[in-house]
Chains A and B, each alone.
Chain A
């Protein structure tokens, strides 16, 4: 691949992904800079280059040069932007991958309502097609191709974790159970870092009388293709889950406590596959909220510690599940205190959108986490944070460690399971 062709490939993808929606964003931006005031990377570093709209510049240039109305006229009179070069793409690559979690907070402050996060996702398609992807993310993609998991989690590793949880709870977990109502998928981070979530599911679903299973061939929810910006890889990863769910004839697939996995399968999934699924996608938080409202998982003794709730961006701000986790928290937590800015305007942990899988971005991620830390510090006598996303949990733990802070981080499903009525 020659230097020039890399730029050409990226630009061709930029243009392909500049649909009417993206064009409307590029045409509406007035360069007001408000988005910088919402971006945790800018707020924590003060560096203007982290202004969200600035991160889009190469894609904007490609659009204005080759696709925008009047672009031919402007090219004729020499007023069109110059061609995007490989040097420029390389200069922007850390802005596109290291300093954007695709969290969407900038959209809320934007007077034009521009979805910069969604556009960064499309811009990454150009970078991925040109092979300009950070090494860490590339490594995750290679693991996925071999094992379906970005961390290389094999079915044997999953089976060991299932066995361990069965021993703890005394409840069997049936793998590949055909005709089950629900098929659960998990993020690698949950399977290896927080396997107690498996035990929490089995305890909650037994209580609720829910029939569920885990597929031995499609247990991974993380979609590295979405993080990198590779449509073909994203589709390949999704295909495994869809095929397994339809082969097992389940009615629902449960998206786990993982931010981007929900968006990848629930909202982007059918569009990637070009068809609707033969099953319904439900987020675990939605399902638990529904089961609680139906009285199937009644709360018992509440956890009386002072707790707060982190809002994973792709589940809350960009996923629409705002009330459900709060309703669950109210039932299980005796002293639930919201952090300042909670809900749709909450700060990202700093590690979403593939940033946590990109070692090059570690320092920046830790800097961005300082905004979250400020929110936590605003709550008196805080004892625990409920973080309903496996990736956010590791970012929280790393961030707290980096800032030498001690705070318990727990998942929402585990909290619900621990406070379940006997």
Chain B
């Protein structure tokens, strides 16, 4: 078995299994801790608040934007760029179509890929530079923050190298890093991709019960 066959075959299957089971275990584990039923007479709907809270926190409040614009721009740039690359880069669509869905969808043209990648890289670099330079960020950051950032960075970088599919080694390197990223994901702070909805939702539900329009 060649290296590329290994990283796209059994290693990928193992990594994806750890990712799926680990992420599910962690989310279910949080939910299973449970929460006492709130018996104060409600003024509004907790369920509606759960969804509203999730949507509301996608949009930064204007009054804070002047102080947090760098983080907003970096954060949105990185995340939108990353999702653009993950879901619309031609090799990804081909891989997903072949291995998972059985069907594909329109992909980014080369120039679109380049722009999207630049936005994602710029966002990630801004966030990381802020993490190592801002006194608040330096104080609160830990090794998990840095590992998550760097693994993601190398996955993206190797993906750009592999884009042309000119060398099998480059594609294999990208897949190797993707597998490492998938294995690390459920155990670290990358899990915020799944836990954010619980956090926003819980606060939204509390506000919702109080009939608050936040």
Q: How far is the CA of A51 from the CA of B138 in the complex (A)?
A: 11
> How far is B134's CA from A48's CA once the two chains are assembled, in angstroms?
9
**Proximity bits, B133-175, A CB within 8 Å = 1, else 0:** 0111111111001000000000000000000000000000000
What is the minimal beta-carbon distance from B46 to any residue of chain A, in angstroms?
12
A27-44: which have CB < 8 Å to B?
27-34, 36-38, 42
Partner of A109, one of B26, B61, B192: B61
Question: Are A68 and B199 in contact, CB atoms less than 8 angstroms apart?
Answer: no
The residue in chain B whose Cβ has the minimal distance to the Cβ of A21 is: B202
| Alpha-carbon distance A42/B140, docked complex (angstroms) | 14
Which of B33, B41, B135 has a CB less than 8 Å from the CB of A280? B41
A19 and B33 in contact, given A28-B198, A269-B40, A320-B212 (Cβ under 8 angstroms): yes
A270/B41 in contact, CB under 8 A = yes
CB of A384 closer than 8 Å to a CB of B: no
Q: Complex: how many Å from CA A341 to CA B214?
A: 14
B93 to chain A, nearest CB (A): 28
CB atoms of A49 and B139 under 8 A apart: yes
User: What is the interface size of chain A, counting residues whose CB is below 8 A from a CB of the partner?
Assistant: 58
Cβ contacts under 8 Å, A69 to chain B: 25-26, 28-30
- Bound: A214/B139 CA distance, A: 50
Query: Could you say which residues of chain A place their CB within 8 Å of the CB of B186?
Result: 70
Partner among A27, A48, A49, A51 whose Cβ is within 8 Å of the Cβ of B198: A27
How far apart are B30's CB and chain A's nearest CB, in angstroms? 5
**A220 to B137 Cα, complex, angstroms:** 43
Residues B67 and A113 in contact, CB atoms below 8 Å apart:
no
Binding site for B on A (CB under 8 A): 18-21, 23-25, 27-34, 36-38, 42, 48-49, 51, 53-54, 67-70, 74, 107-115, 118, 266-271, 274-276, 280, 317-320, 322, 340-341, 344-345
Q: Which 10 A-B pairs have the closest CB atoms?
A: A69-B29, A28-B199, A113-B200, A24-B198, A320-B210, A320-B212, A33-B136, A20-B33, A27-B195, A37-B67
> B residues near A, CB below 8 A?
22, 25-26, 28-36, 38-41, 43, 53-54, 56-57, 60-61, 63-64, 67-68, 71, 75, 131, 134-142, 145, 186-187, 189, 191-192, 195-196, 198-204, 206-207, 210-214
**Interface CB pairs A-B, < 8 A, 18:** A18-B33, A19-B36, A20-B35, A24-B198, A24-B202, A28-B198, A31-B131, A33-B137, A37-B67, A38-B64, A48-B136, A48-B138, A69-B25, A70-B22, A70-B187, A108-B64, A109-B61, A271-B38
